Chains A and B, each alone.
Chain A
Amino acid sequence: QQQVKQSPQSLIVQKGGISIINCAYENTAFDYFPWYQQFPGKGPALLIAIRPDVSEKKEGRFTISFNKSAKQFSLHIMDSQPGDSATYFCAARADKIIFGKGTRLHILP
């Protein structure tokens, strides 16, 4: 029940395309859903986050879509750039933060 399932494991997108990463959860006690971006050799860093009372949040080229009834949320990266190549983690928080297994994104130049 504490799991956060993330897909795909890896993703290759052409420059300028849309990258989409999906996550699903079971625990209805989760009340905050952040996404983290991690570059090789670095710690994860918060990218964008959403609360379950909002269906969408947009920050620049990054958008979270949230479907509370389906217990699913996704990250969309518009106009993907080579600098977006990184590992992305979704997460969910109740009394602690649980992470998905990560998606390795590669943007082709």
Chain B
Amino acid sequence: NAGVTQTPKFQVLKTGQSMTLQCAQDMNHEYMSWYRQDPGMGLRLIHYSVGAGITDQGEVPNGYNVSRSTTEDFPLRLLSAAPSQTSVYFCASSLGLAHTDTQYFGPGTRLTVL
């Protein structure tokens, strides 16, 4: 199993540009989520999904869209990038939200918005 994969690893955007951060998992996990990590702020939940076709907002959803058309993929879209979205983005997945379900993180995407 490849686990949780994210592409790209690094990205530089100009203000106003749009892009999609890709996330895929091959573990047949139902629960997937996106976090952003900023210095001193920890990991903040952007959006999450409990299964294909179901998404919901986390703590910091503004400026981001998600969709979950398949169990495997959970892309994060930045509609109009802003410098405040400069961050490291992590995708994570788990079988579900049961006590024994470990959440696995991808390697991250480092995004810079100029």
Interface residue ranges, A against B (CB under 8 Å): 2, 6, 9, 31-32, 34, 36, 41-46, 49, 51, 89, 93, 95-102
Contacts and interface: CB of A to CB of B under 8 A. Distances in A.
Interface stretch (B13-21, B64-72, B77-85, B101-109): B101-109
A44 B90 CA distance: 9
A104 to B, nearest CB: 10
B101 to A, nearest CB: 9
Contacts of B108: 41-43
A58 to B, nearest CB: 17
Interface residues of B, number: 24
Contact of A97 (B56, B103, B106, B107): B103
Contacts of A42: 107-108
A100 to B, nearest CB: 6
A43 B107 contact: yes
Given A42-B107, A44-B90, A46-B102, A99 B97 contact: no
A98 to B, nearest CB: 7
Given A43-B105, A44-B43, A51-B99, A96 B90 contact: no
